[in-house]
Chains A and B, each alone.
Chain A
Amino acid sequence: MDVNSYNIENIDIAWCPGCGNYPILDTLKQTLKELGIRPGELVMVSGIGQAAKTPQYMRTNVFNGLHGRALPPAVAIKAVNPKLTVIAQSGDGDMYGEGGNHFIHTIRRNPNITNIVNNNMVYGLTKGQASPSSQKGFKSSLHTVTAEPFNPLAVAISLDASFVARAFAGDKEQTKEILKKAITHKGYALIDIFQPCVTFNKQNTYKWFKDNTYYLDDSYEPTDRVEAFKKSIETEKFPLGVIYINSNKTIFDDNFNQKQVNIKEKLLQLKR
């Protein structure tokens, strides 16, 4: 066994052939390898869903918790042991629906973690219901969507998130570059990855994502919040790349001054 490898032998992967989760898994493993982060130094935290199974397919430390609840344990793990690299990864339903409140408040806290959202605009695991990011007019297994989609990037920028990016699972090279920036960024980093679901989302396919996205060019300056917000609400074609960075924020894990103390002694002098 190679202790530096993220690969697990003989695993039974529960994803459909052709699912956009495969290239994301591959790209993530490749990114970590290139960044020189060892499996023992990483904790992958996830909720429940198809995307949330990703950590199960990696040889590393894993906290696969409850649906919608990846971020709270991730925040705590990083605060308790800042030496660990912590990545919280789940689907769009998990992060933006069930876990929407944690999404908002984790951005506000700004822990030094990476938040990957495999956004297939549908509930995969529960078979085709709409997700918060389903497009208007999407024919879900229940209703046709009439509500406006949740815009995670615009929400994140409005909350002055420390790092906001979008990628497309179909493009491993570019996704890797964006992931590298996200993981090495100091502070909370959101990377929303467009992920085709070949089984339950026949509308937002590989081709659709390719046709409806474009990469921000090198001249784009991600530190201007107003410009970034404008980018985040573009829907004609969705911009890909690092959309916003604010490196001047207090980092949650820096707030704490963990120390070994003589409890018995201290107990006698507590503030009541």
Chain B
Amino acid sequence: MQKYISLKEAASIVISGEAGQGIDTVENFLTRIFQLAGFYTFSTKEYMSRIRGGCNSTEIRVSSSPVSAFINKIDFLIALTDKAIPHLKERISENTIIFSEKENFPITELSQEAGGKIYSNMISAGLILGLFSVEFNLMEKEIKKVFSEKTDEIINNNIKAAQSGYGLAQKYIKEKNLRIDISPNTDAKENILITGTQAVSMGCIAGGCNFISSYPMSPGTGVLTFLTKNSEELGIISEQAEDEIAAINMSIGAWYAGARAMVTTSGGGFALMTEGVSLAGMIESPIVIHLAQRPGPATGLPTRTEQGDLELALYSGHGEFPRIILAPGTPAESFELSHRAFNLADKYQVPVFILTDQYLLDSVYSTKPFEIDKTEVNKYVIKTSVNYKRYELTENGLSPRGIPGYGEGLVVVDSDEHDEEGRITEDMSVRKKMDKKRLKKLELIKQEVETPELTGDEKYKILVISWGSTKEIVKEAILNLDSDGIAQLHFKQVYPLPEKLNKYLAAAEKTIIIENNATSQFGKLIKIQTGIEVQDKILKYSGLPFSVEEVAEELKRICYGCKQL
């Protein structure tokens, strides 16, 4: 019997193959063309920690309205390897349309016809665009643009390859009576396509970052790559340090000399930086730390995702000193918060964390262009006078920060306890004053905490709490439940927390927290601050992000019997 399939609003395409088969190329190509054709897209990948072989997959969602979250459902699977079907068996349903070499997609033969194996990516891309009947012209133009520096033969072969995939798809649609009625939306064309990595990097640049020292570690490396690529043009000093210890000590030295510096790393590398975090706390140096989470302990799952390092960031560094932890959940937030991180670090002379994860960083979002005009580089460095004292005791705890060579004064900073001039002291009364002064800054910081975002029913009975990268997944899950009485409270700053947090919690009959970790680290932090234990926890720590369906199911399970759902 012939299946009659109709997809109206959105579809999910998964391409799965071995590392090295060029799935990323197909993803880039497709998202760009879908965008040009007026579709909203979202794509996210899961991949193994290897350069060749294995089995990876990339999901591309195509929609007539904005989508920004991972879903489990697969409408179309392009299986470029035999391993793809077993690899994705839990996500394949009877409605999944599969294209595989064995069954219906003679990709080897087609690529030979087109001129060789390297053209197979373009055949896959053609196939998918053919299924959606995207104007072939768009594809042809894009091929000419991307390969503009290649020979005519290569360009023609690519076009031929794309055509063969496209033709196959069109034939398939007719045969199977398949209808895809996802209508394009001109608004989508105004959007930009951007990864979390790019958004964080651009935010840092907007924040005036002009120095980066780091040691490669996935998934934090992308930001180092991005800034380095643009370093010449922007006058950014970029250095690959010998280790993470050097990296953070360099960046702190850079701030001392007047730069706006950052490091980017992941949990293991950050663990090595923690003495440096404490140094920044003591000498009251600004420092921006992009901590890109992946599952631990130790090397863990290098290419997977987790929200397992909140406590590491929160408690890193010996001794007591204030800090700020920001946790963006979308590219827009990544841009805005990374930009803000530099201003906050400079203003309060404290470590500021941008806490992200592999899922956010690697996903490609279609989003409104960033509000570049609203960004500002706020500088707090002062010109020193002859009697300048780096650690002058002031009412609010903030001592104006000078840098060497700017003004008449001298700038003395010391990791030992010090007096107002920065000279080593063991005088206990000075120690107390200095410790108090440093800690006092937290009070100022609290006055400009990012307010959590409440979406859904304002008169909620059920409050679902999320932070960081789960934002859009939870939002879509709640939307899918389509019920009153439920709201999402999302945190893009996880430390310090706003004073009125209690109010949000107290208004709910039921509180649920969603975290991509095993021990509900944010839940624990909420309890410390409010004394309130969040009632139910939805936790995932397999190394994969939550899917929209998974969150919706869990919410239903927990709320079963609640009259609201």
B427 to chain A, nearest CB (A): 11
Interface core residue of A76, A83, A270 (most chain B CB under 10 Å) = A76
| Beta-carbon contact of A72 and B205 below 8 Å | no
User: Given A76-B211, A79-B237, A263-B234, is A48 in contact with B246 using a C-beta cutoff of 8 Å?
Assistant: no
A81 touches B242 (CB 8 A): no
Interface residues of A in 90-126 (CB under 8 A from B): 101-102, 104-105
Partner-binding segment picked from A36-44, A182-190, A236-244: A36-44
Chain B 395-426, CB-CB to A under 8 Å as 1, else 0, gives 00000000111001111111110000011100
- Counting residue pairs across A and B whose Cβ atoms lie within 8 Å, the total is 170
Stretch among A54-62, A173-181, A195-203 lining the B interface: A54-62
Q: Does A165 sit within 8 A of B, measured CB to CB?
A: no
Q: Say whether A41 contacts B405, CB under 8 Å.
A: yes
Is A23 in contact with chain B by the CB < 8 A criterion?
no
Given the complex, which residues of A lie within 8 Å of B258, measured CB to CB?
80-81
Interface residue total, chain B, C-beta cutoff 8 A: 59
CA distance A101 to B208 in the complex (A): 30
Say whether A75 faces chain B, with CB atoms less than 8 Å apart: yes
Residues B206 and A39 in contact, CB atoms below 8 Å apart? no
Known contacts A53-B424, A81-B258; A102 and B411 CB within 8 A of each other: no
Tell me if B235 and A261 are in contact (CB < 8 A): yes
CB pair B211–A80 under 8 Å, yes or no, is yes
Taking the complex as formed, is A258 at the interface, i.e. its CB lies under 8 A from any CB of chain B? yes
Q: Are B254's CB and A272's CB within 8 A? A: no
The docked-state distance in angstroms from the alpha carbon of A266 to that of B370 is 13
Contacts of B434 in A (CB 8 A): none
Answer whether residue A156 sits at the interface, using C-beta atoms and an 8 A cutoff.
no
From residue 345 to 400 of chain B, which have CB atoms closer than 8 A to chain A? Answer: 370, 372-373, 375, 377, 386
A269's closest neighbor in chain B, by CB? B233
Asked if B321 lies at the interface with its beta carbon under 8 angstroms from chain A, I say no
Q: Bound state CA distance, A65 and B276, in angstroms?
A: 9
Task: Tell me if B70 is interfacial: C-beta within 8 Å of chain A.
Answer: no
A77 touches B377 (CB 8 A): no
Q: A72-B249, A76-B211, A266-B233 are in contact. Are A84 and B404 (CB under 8 A)?
A: yes
Asked if B257 lies at the interface with its beta carbon under 8 angstroms from chain A, I say yes
- Chain A: CB-nearest residue to B237: A256
Q: With A and B bound together, what is the CA distance between A1 and B411 in angstroms? A: 16
Measured CB to CB, the closest approach of chain A to B254, in angstroms, equals 4
The answer to whether B256 and A77 have CB atoms under 8 Å apart is yes
- A62–B372 touching, CB < 8 Å: no
Q: Is B77 an interface residue (CB 8 A)?
A: no
Q: Are A101 and B275 in contact, CB atoms less than 8 angstroms apart?
A: no
Do the beta carbons of A63 and B256 come within 8 Å of each other? yes
* The residue from A43, A75, A101, A270 contacting B404, defined by CB atoms under 8 A apart: A43
Inter-subunit contact A267/B202 (CB<8 Å): yes
Q: Is the CB of A84 within 8 A of B257?
A: yes
Instruction: Chain A residues near B202: list those with CB within 8 A.
Output: 267, 270
A142 at the interface (CB under 8 A from B): no
- Which residue of B257, B375, B404, B422 is within 8 Å of A76 (Cβ)? B257
CB neighbours of A84 from chain B (8 A): 257, 404-405
A264 close to chain B: CB less than 8 A: yes
Is B251 close to A, CB under 8 A? yes
Q: How far is the CA of A94 from the CA of B243 in the complex (A)?
A: 17
Please classify the interface of chain A as helix (H, G, I), strand (E, B), loop, or mixed, using the class held by over half of its residues. Answer: mixed
Contact B246 A105 (CB under 8 A): yes
Complex alpha-carbon distance, A259 and B254, angstroms: 15
Contact A39 B205 (CB under 8 A): no
Given contacts A72-B241, A263-B234, contact A61 B253 (CB under 8 A): no
Contacts of A166 in B (CB 8 A): none
Partner of A40, one of B256, B275, B404, B424: B404
Flag if B415 contacts A76 (CB, 8 Å).
no
- Please tell me if A64 contacts chain B, counting CB pairs below 8 Å: yes
Q: Which residues of B contact A11 (CB under 8 A)?
A: 423
Asked, given contacts A62-B414, A80-B257, A84-B405, whether A101 binds B243 with beta carbons under 8 Å apart, the answer is yes
Is B526 at the interface (CB under 8 A from chain A)?
no
Contact status of A61 and B206, CB under 8 A, knowing A75-B250, A76-B213, A257-B235? no
CB distance B415 to A263 under 8 Å? no
Q: Is A228 an interface residue (CB 8 A)?
A: no
Q: Which of B126-134, B224-232, B498-506 touches A?
A: B224-232
Please tell me the number of chain A residues within 8 Å of chain B, measured between CB atoms.
50
B12 at interface, CB cutoff 8 A: no
Residue from A48, A53, A75, A270 in contact with B205 in the complex, judged by beta carbons closer than 8 Å = A270
Q: CB-CB < 8 A to A59: which residues of B?
A: 410
Tell me if B210 is interfacial: C-beta within 8 Å of chain A: yes
The distance from the CB of B362 to the nearest CB of chain A, in whole angstroms, is 14
Q: Name the contact of A258 in the complex, choosing from B210, B241, B415 (C-beta under 8 A).
A: B210
Instruction: Report how far A39 CA is from B416 CA in the complex, Å.
Output: 22
A74–B257 CA distance with the chains assembled, in angstroms:
10
1/0 per position for B263-281, CB-CB distance to A under 8 A? Answer: 0000000000001100100
B520 to chain A, nearest CB (A): 34
B282 to chain A, nearest CB (A): 9
Shortest C-beta distance, A73 to chain B (Å), equals 3
Closest-by-CB residue of A relative to B249 is A72
Contacts A43-B404, A80-B258 given: A66-B234 contact, CB under 8 Å?
no
- A180 → chain B closest CB, angstroms: 22
A260 at the interface (CB under 8 A from B): yes
Given contacts A3-B386, A63-B256, A76-B261, contact A69 B245 (CB under 8 A): yes
B253 engages A72 (CB within 8 Å)? yes
Cβ–Cβ contact A48 & B424, under 8 A: no
| Known contacts A43-B257, A105-B241, then 9 further A-B pairs from the complex at CB < 8 Å, ordered by chain A residue | A41-B405, A53-B424, A60-B410, A72-B213, A79-B239, A105-B242, A258-B237, A261-B233, A270-B205
List 19 A-B residue pairs with CB atoms under 8 Å apart, sorted by A's residue number.
A40-B408, A60-B410, A61-B405, A62-B410, A63-B256, A64-B412, A64-B415, A65-B279, A72-B213, A74-B253, A76-B237, A81-B404, A81-B405, A101-B246, A258-B235, A263-B208, A266-B230, A267-B205, A267-B372
Q: Chain A interface (Cβ within 8 Å of chain B)?
A: 1, 3, 11, 39-41, 43, 45, 48, 53, 56, 59-66, 69, 71-77, 79-81, 83-84, 101-102, 104-105, 256-261, 263-264, 266-268, 270-272
Residues of B within 8 A of A (CB): 198, 202, 205-206, 208, 210-211, 213, 226, 229-230, 232-235, 237, 239, 241-243, 245-247, 249-254, 256-259, 261, 275-276, 279, 283, 370, 372-373, 375, 377, 386, 403-405, 408-416, 422-424
